[in-house]
Every structure is written in C-alpha cells, then in structure tokens.
Chains A and B, each alone.
Chain A
C-alpha cells in the first residue's frame, strides 16, 4: 500500500485532498464561485468576452414561466433545458424534436407536456442544485455535434474538458457518451474518457471507470488517434476562461458544434480527477511545471505556446480526419 502511495506520488497524481487543499482553496476565491455555478452568468460573461456559447433561447425563473416553454421554443424544434445551478449534468434534458404534441429526447424517449413540466418544476424548486436552493432553467441551442466523434460516441453530446490552471491549459480529455451512461458525457456514469495530447489535439486511448479501453464499447471504433478540429481555438477559449472568471483552477467544458465550432458549455470550479486516468498522467506534475516555470502574467497566446511545448504527449499514429468524415457521410 505504501509502495503504491509512493508510486502515485512519484507519478505526480493529484488526490482529492490535495486538489481541495492546495489548489481549489488557494486559487478559487469563494466569492467567484457564483460566476461558474450559475450557468446563466457564465453564459453572459462569455458572450461579453466574445467567447462562443450555445445561443440562449430563454430562461424560466418561476413555476409560471414553465407555461411559456412552447412560446420560447416556438422557432426551435431542437433545444436543451438546463438547470442553471445543476452539477455533473444533473437535470439536463435535450429535446431533439417533437412528434404528436410530445417532446422527443435525444435518446428517443417521448415526453409529454406534463412530464416535462414536472421535471422543470423540480428543477426550479432546486432539486438539481447544490443545497437544494431554488434555481432557474435555461433554454438554449441544442448542440449538433460535429461528425468527428460520431463513430466513437453513443447518442448524447461528447464534450472536451480542459483543466486550466491560472490561465494555462494543463490537461484535456474528451468525454464520449455510452449506452450505459444513457447518452451523458459523464465519466462516473459510464462515459468513456479519452485523453488528448495538448500539443496536437489528437486523442489517446480511453478509460471507462478505471479500465483502459482502446475501442468505444458501443460502436467498437478505435478511440485513439483522432485529430480534434479547431484544437487551437479550443485551447484559446479555455485559456481565456481564466480572465473571464479569475478562478485559478477550473475545468472548461467545450462542445464542438457541426456548424458553429467550439462552444463553451460550462465552467467547473471543482473539476474531477478522472482526467488523469484518461491521460494516464498525473495532474500534479503538470501543475508543478506551471508553478515553477510559467509566467502567470503572460497573454493567452503565450500561455498556449507554453502548454503545447511542456505538455506534449507521446501519441500514436494520426488518423486522417478527411477519411473519417468521408466514412461518416
């Protein structure tokens, strides 16, 4: 046991206690939390800074507003409903269309008006928010994810998570929904996490739980070796999210929209540690490299250069993305 403890320490693996004690408590001032805990505020901040986010259709703040839903989504057959304070993807419903007066979710289930109202009312009452405080529900653009990940995800929206330490992107992964995660890009619900080489934006092997997988369990396609589109934009957005909030240790969740490119979904002030397993690299080592060598006043472009240089990953052969797109089409 002691050997394993030393082994992990030598690999620079970040534990929960250290993440909380040495990074979150130190670099994330409590008064800035509302900026990221409230997805609505994050959205407004991002818009002001010129960072692309899914378009906001409307907000439901009271029980009465629930009745306005049909009006809000009048011109949008597809949309997503999110509790503004929801954590870990709880309470999110993605509607991909309507049939016979009912809403069809992205996973194909049909929800009637009543069910949806109940869900929204729960969300407004705070069922999904931390501490059960009353919440608001955001109605926004449903991301149509880029074909890139189509072969290696099961329904749902795959997203890219980048850990940003004081403006420096230090680690990234892509989260791929599976059948057992019910189409959610949530690692502890069974989604696949695959590390990404920061320098090139090419995916590595994935993990489910703590198990390394080379193929997506549902589509059986190989996970590693995928070049992510607009990687530089993703890094740029992530790095700039630091200036957006002032939080020193955040997880930036980005989706790749087919038409709009990378969009920031949300920011997380307490990002999980599973990203280390997905990258098979400890976060602590990279944090130390940053703390020792990085200039924390540098502009975003310079920070990205640093990250690409320092956090280059040994990666496998690169799959031709053009071929992938052709195959998907």
Chain B
C-alpha cells in the first residue's frame, strides 16, 4: 500500500461522494438545510350540475402541460360516476358519466402542485395557422391592421405587444372597431388576438389558468395569450400587455373551449379554489426522483419505517463523532480511556444535554471509583469484580434517577441512557491507572476522555450536520476518505510540539 494508492482511493471516494450529493441536492432537490419546506398548492375544481332525465356526461379540463409547476398528486371525488381521463387538444380532460342521477350533483377534482423550475413546456412546434375565414371588409381591415402593426414591430414579440395594445385601445383604433362587437373581456381580447395572429401566420392560442396566491379561497380563471415565435412559446397578458409567464400562474387548460361542459344536464357551475400549504421538501424530492425513474429515493433511508429512521439518524452520526476523536487523538494527541468510549458517552449526552451529561458522568465515575477502591480491599477476582462494579453502576444510575425525580430534576432521568458497560470498564481501567501510575495520570486521562466526549457531542449535535448526513449518507464516504488520509499522517501531534520542546534547536546555535 503506497501513498499514491491511498491518495487515489480517497480522491475517488471524495468525487463519488460529492457527485452523489450534488445529484441528489440539485437534480432531485433533496433539501440541504434541515426542516426545509416547499410550498405546495392544492387546486380544486368543484363542478356542480343538475342531471337531466337521461344519461349525462360532464367534461372538465384538467391541468396537463404546466410550465414551471409539477403535479405531485391528483384525485377525483365523484361517487357513483364513471370517470375517464384523456388527452385532448386543450390539454387533459376528465369525463364523468352516469346513466341516471337525481338532484343537484357536485364532483371534485383536486391536484397538488409544486413549483418546479426545471419543468418547461414539452410541447411540439405547432403548424402555421390557416388564414381565418372572414367577410371581405373584415379581411381588408385585417390585412391593413397586420401591415400597420408589422411596420411598427421587429419580431413576433413586439408584433404581439403592438397588436394587443391596439386591441386594448378598442374603439379608437379604426381597424379594431370593426371586430369589437361583443363585451370586452380579457378572454375576448385574447381570442381576437389569435385571429389577427393567424392572419399574420403566427401560431397562437389562449391559455387559461389560475394565479397561485398564498391566501386560500375561490379564484377566477385568468387568460394569457400564448404565441409561438418559431422556437418557443411566449406568454402575453392581454390586459396589461406584460410579456412572460407570471411565476405564480398555473396553466390549467388551453384553447377556446370552456373549463367544463355538460351533456344531458343543466345549470353547470364550476368553482376553482386554491390553497397553499407547506410540505416537507424530502417528500417532494422523493416524488420527483420517482417520476424521473431514479432509484436513489427508493433505496434511501426514507424508505425505512419512521422508528428505524430515527435510529439511523443517530447511528449515522457515530462516524462523525469517531472522526472528531480521530482528529483529537492523532492531530492533537489527547489521551482517552478506550478508543471510542468518548463517542458512546457523547451519544448519551444527546439525551442529557452537555452540562447534565458531564455532571452525571463525573458523579457516576467518581462514585464507581470509590466502590471500586473498596472492592479492591475485598480482593475479588477480576470478572466477579467487573460484574460487581457494573451492578453498582446500574444501581447508582437508578438511584440518581429516582433521587433527581424526587427533586423534580428532569435531566436526572435521562441518565438511563449512559452506556453502563462502557462506564464500568472505564472505572476499572481508571482505577488501575490510578494505582499503577498515580492519581494525576488517571484524572488527566479521565478529564481528557470527558473533554473529547464533550467536543464530539457538540459536533454531533449540529442539527444541520445530522440532517445532511441522514439525507445524504453518501457523505460518509468523505469520512472514509479522511480516515485514509489521516491514517497516513505521520507528522507531529499538537501536544508533541510541547512534549519535545527540549529538543528544539537552541536560539543562536543554528
């Protein structure tokens, strides 16, 4: 094993780990920060109608191509109705059918959508539209208008804007006046624009949608004009003339058709409602991974039962604690009882909190040591003595819990999570060091262990770190890479610089 082998191995691990991390974080959108939530909207269409005497059919346009948004889930509430969904020129349609029904009926369509900047229109380029069929005067007016507008514009976008501006001026424009015969709603204006654009051989259509606002309640569908410039669809607000798709605009359906239609029934009414809510980003990321056919979510820790997830969120932090200890031992040179004893103590600190943890640990170890010194006098054999110390430690823990509960000190109860076997072994080893090498060394090593445990605890307690390791366990490859590198670190430890002070070249001599 030469060093180059180790370096390349750690580079490979680092690259692998970071690549997976960035894929999950940026492509699948797994949240990097803890408790990150993503806005989602519940959009609902309630279709109410009165069925006629015979079979009836109600059609509702439902969201299909929704640039900027992704559909997370959708469901239909319609008891007793046969339901089919299908693709249609307007997007998608849901058709409810029933042979007979009595009294007013309401069926619901409900969808969960979330913002997804990566989702763009997956629409094909449309063919050139046919010239609208018009009577002669209208045709002349249309050609005049197109020639006029073309003169004042440079491209499809400015052409459309100019056209919409003229339409909004309505009566004052000599050409437009000819066409404005009905009430002037935004939908009418957009429809009119599509006729003019068709005359100019520019594909255009109307997009109906709703604005996703943060307040809940009923919303009215609004209209945008979609114009294809040969490369992509452009969006125009027919009233304000603003170009571009507003961020909070969810396109529901397209074309001149109505939102809902009914055959064999009457008094059709459709209400749209939007409600915003927050959902854990992880759920959305998983959903997205599923849609993309990525297996990273299926095989992630989130597929485990919640209780197991909780265990792993702690277990995955152990390597981080061990990493801290590795650094403190190999770079700094702090001595501890047992290599990884401090990690286990640090795990216990998670429940007790630091101050209580250190206090309880110190109390238990000191009491245990007292007992151990007494047992020394009884001259027990090793294994029975260890068993005895362990039993005493357990009793001490129980005693402290009961006692602190009586005093109303809650943290005392969490002492039950201390690793008692480890503590017993620590007591045993500490007492041997105490006898063989003196109290100073024993206390020094004991305090060293405690300090290391506290530092490991503080690092393992960083909520962000815990979250990121749980969501991206592949980052532990970085820990492995670090251990490979530290494993070949042959430089001095920090405390050795002090230890070998006497060996420094003397001033003036060198």
Q: Which residues of A contact B (CB under 8 A)?
A: 1, 4-5, 7-11, 13, 15-18, 21-22, 63, 90-91, 114-115, 117-118, 121-122, 125-128, 132, 188-189, 207, 210-212, 273, 276-277, 280-282
Spot the interface stretch: B165-173, B276-284, B485-493: B485-493
| Subset of 27 A-B contacts with CB under 8 Å | A1-B494, A4-B497, A5-B497, A7-B504, A8-B503, A8-B504, A10-B505, A11-B503, A11-B505, A15-B491, A15-B496, A16-B333, A16-B493, A17-B489, A91-B436, A118-B379, A121-B381, A125-B381, A125-B382, A128-B432, A210-B500, A211-B502, A276-B503, A277-B499, A277-B502, A277-B503, A280-B502
Q: Are B382 and A126 in contact (CB under 8 A)?
A: yes
Nearest chain B CB to A278's CB is how many angstroms away? 10
Name the CB-closest residue of B to A212.
B502
User: How far is it, in angstroms, between the C-alpha of A60 and the C-alpha of B488 when the chains are bound?
Assistant: 42
Nearest chain B CB to A27's CB is how many angstroms away? 14
Q: Which residues of B contact A13 (CB under 8 A)?
A: 492, 500, 503
State which residues 438-462 of B face A: CB under 8 Å: 438, 441
User: How far is it, in angstroms, between the C-alpha of A11 and the C-alpha of B330 when the chains are bound?
Assistant: 21
Q: Are A15 and B490 in contact (CB under 8 A)?
A: yes
The reply to whether the CB of B383 lies closer than 8 angstroms to some CB of chain A is yes
Residue from A1, A117, A281 within 8 A of B503 (CB atoms): A281
Residue of A7, A211, A273, A280 ringed by the most chain B CB atoms within 10 A: A7
The reply to whether the CB of B501 lies closer than 8 angstroms to some CB of chain A is yes
User: How far is it, in angstroms, between the C-alpha of A317 and the C-alpha of B379 when the chains are bound?
Assistant: 52
User: How far is it, in angstroms, between the C-alpha of A86 and the C-alpha of B497 when the chains are bound?
Assistant: 29
Chain B 119-152, CB-CB to A under 8 Å as 1, else 0, gives 0000000000000000000000000000000000
Q: Are A276 and B500 in contact (CB under 8 A)?
A: yes
Q: How large is the interface on B (under 10, 10 to 19, 20 to 34, 35 or more residues)?
A: 20 to 34
User: How far is it, in angstroms, between the C-alpha of A125 and the C-alpha of B381 when the chains are bound?
Assistant: 7
Nearest chain A CB to B209's CB is how many angstroms away? 64
Q: Which residues of B contact A4 (CB under 8 A)?
A: 497, 501, 504
Q: Which residues of B contact A (CB under 8 A)?
A: 330, 333, 379, 381-383, 432, 436-438, 441, 487-494, 496-505, 510
User: How far is it, in angstroms, between the C-alpha of A128 and the C-alpha of B435 when the chains are bound?
Assistant: 12
Q: Are B491 and A17 in contact (CB under 8 A)?
A: yes
Nearest chain A CB to B288's CB is how many angstroms away? 46
Q: Are A17 and B490 in contact (CB under 8 A)?
A: yes
Name the CB-closest residue of A to B498.
A210
Name the CB-closest residue of A to B384.
A125
Q: Are A280 and B382 in contact (CB under 8 A)?
A: no
Q: Which residues of A contact B492 (CB under 8 A)?
A: 5, 8-9, 13, 15, 17-18
Q: Are A11 and B490 in contact (CB under 8 A)?
A: no
Residue of B381, B437, B487, B491 ringed by the most chain A CB atoms within 10 A: B437
User: How far is it, in angstroms, between the C-alpha of A9 and the C-alpha of B504 when the chains are bound?
Assistant: 9
Name the CB-closest residue of B to A277.
B502
Q: 16 more A-B contacts (CB under 8 A) besides A21-B489, A210-B502?
A: A1-B497, A4-B501, A5-B497, A16-B493, A16-B496, A17-B491, A21-B488, A90-B436, A115-B379, A122-B382, A125-B383, A126-B382, A127-B432, A188-B441, A189-B437, A210-B501
User: How far is it, in angstroms, between the C-alpha of A196 and the C-alpha of B437 when the chains are bound?
Assistant: 26
Q: Which residues of B contact A280 (CB under 8 A)?
A: 502-503
Residue of B381, B493, B500, B502 ringed by the most chain A CB atoms within 10 A: B500
Q: Which residues of B contact A90 (CB under 8 A)?
A: 432, 436
Q: Which residues of A contact B487 (CB under 8 A)?
A: 21
Residue of B379, B499, B505 ringed by the most chain A CB atoms within 10 A: B499
Q: Are B490 and A5 in contact (CB under 8 A)?
A: no
Residue from A9, A10, A114 within 8 A of B379 (CB atoms): A114
**What's the dominant secondary structure at chain A's contact region?**
helix
Q: Are B503 and A17 in contact (CB under 8 A)?
A: no
Q: Which residues of B contact A22 (CB under 8 A)?
A: 490
Q: Which residues of A contact B333 (CB under 8 A)?
A: 16
Name the CB-closest residue of B to A1.
B497
Q: Which residues of B contact A115 (CB under 8 A)?
A: 379
Top 5 A-B residue pairs of the complex, sorted by shortest distance between their CB atoms? A125-B382, A118-B379, A18-B490, A15-B492, A21-B490
User: How far is it, in angstroms, between the C-alpha of A193 and the C-alpha of B382 when the chains are bound?
Assistant: 34
Q: Are A127 and B382 in contact (CB under 8 A)?
A: yes
User: How far is it, in angstroms, between the C-alpha of A295 and the C-alpha of B143 when the chains are bound?
Assistant: 103
Name the CB-closest residue of B to A23.
B490
Instruction: Answer whether A282 and B503 are a contact pair too, CB < 8 Å, given A16-B333, A17-B493, A90-B436.
Output: yes
User: How far is it, in angstroms, between the C-alpha of A11 and the C-alpha of B379 when the chains are bound?
Assistant: 49
Name the CB-closest residue of A to B504.
A7
Name the CB-closest residue of B to A12.
B503
Name the CB-closest residue of B to A3.
B504
Q: Which residues of A contact B510 (CB under 8 A)?
A: 10
Q: Which residues of B contact A10 (CB under 8 A)?
A: 505, 510
Q: Are A5 and B441 in contact (CB under 8 A)?
A: no
Q: Which residues of A contact B504 (CB under 8 A)?
A: 4, 7-8, 11
Nearest chain B CB to A49's CB is how many angstroms away? 31
Instruction: Answer whether A17 and B382 are a contact pair too, CB < 8 Å, given A8-B497, A8-B500, A281-B503.
Output: no
Nearest chain B CB to A154's CB is how many angstroms away? 16
Q: Which residues of B contact A16 (CB under 8 A)?
A: 333, 493, 496
User: How far is it, in angstroms, between the C-alpha of A210 and the C-alpha of B497 when the chains are bound?
Assistant: 11
Name the CB-closest residue of B to A122.
B382
Q: Which residues of B contact A211 (CB under 8 A)?
A: 502
User: How far is it, in angstroms, between the C-alpha of A207 and the C-alpha of B330 when the chains are bound?
Assistant: 25
Q: Which residues of B contact A273 (CB under 8 A)?
A: 500
User: How far is it, in angstroms, between the C-alpha of A114 and the C-alpha of B380 when the chains are bound?
Assistant: 11
Nearest chain B CB to A92's CB is how many angstroms away? 10
User: How far is it, in angstroms, between the C-alpha of A274 and the C-alpha of B357 when the chains are bound?
Assistant: 36
Name the CB-closest residue of A to B378.
A118
Nearest chain A CB to B180's CB is how many angstroms away? 83
User: How far is it, in angstroms, between the C-alpha of A125 and the C-alpha of B384 when the chains are bound?
Assistant: 11
Name the CB-closest residue of A to B510.
A10
Nearest chain B CB to A81's CB is how many angstroms away? 15
User: How far is it, in angstroms, between the C-alpha of A117 and the C-alpha of B381 when the chains are bound?
Assistant: 10
User: How far is it, in angstroms, between the C-alpha of A90 and the C-alpha of B490 when the chains are bound?
Assistant: 29
User: How far is it, in angstroms, between the C-alpha of A280 and the C-alpha of B500 when the chains are bound?
Assistant: 9
Q: Which residues of A contact B438 (CB under 8 A)?
A: 189
Nearest chain A CB to B494's CB is how many angstroms away? 8
Q: Which residues of A contact B497 (CB under 8 A)?
A: 1, 4-5, 8
Instruction: Answer whether A5 and B503 are a contact pair too, CB < 8 Å, given A125-B381, A188-B437.
Output: no
Q: Which residues of B contact A5 (CB under 8 A)?
A: 491-492, 497
Nearest chain A CB to B501's CB is how many angstroms away? 6
User: How far is it, in angstroms, between the C-alpha of A211 and the C-alpha of B498 when the chains are bound?
Assistant: 12
User: How far is it, in angstroms, between the C-alpha of A255 and the C-alpha of B395 when the chains are bound?
Assistant: 48
Nearest chain A CB to B101's CB is how many angstroms away? 81
Nearest chain A CB to B229's CB is how many angstroms away? 63
Nearest chain B CB to A10's CB is how many angstroms away? 6
Nearest chain B CB to A182's CB is how many angstroms away? 8
User: How far is it, in angstroms, between the C-alpha of A207 and the C-alpha of B501 when the chains are bound?
Assistant: 12
Nearest chain A CB to B386's CB is how many angstroms away? 9
Q: Which residues of A contact B502 (CB under 8 A)?
A: 207, 210-212, 277, 280
Residue of A11, A91, A211 ringed by the most chain B CB atoms within 10 A: A11
User: How far is it, in angstroms, between the C-alpha of A90 and the C-alpha of B381 when the chains are bound?
Assistant: 18
Q: Which residues of A contact B499 (CB under 8 A)?
A: 210, 277
Nearest chain A CB to B428's CB is how many angstroms away? 9
Q: Which residues of B contact A8 (CB under 8 A)?
A: 492, 496-497, 500, 503-504
Name the CB-closest residue of A to B494.
A1
Q: Which residues of A contact B491 (CB under 8 A)?
A: 5, 15, 17-18
Q: Are A277 and B379 in contact (CB under 8 A)?
A: no
Nearest chain A CB to B422's CB is how many angstroms away? 14
Name the CB-closest residue of A to B429.
A132
Name the CB-closest residue of A to B376.
A118
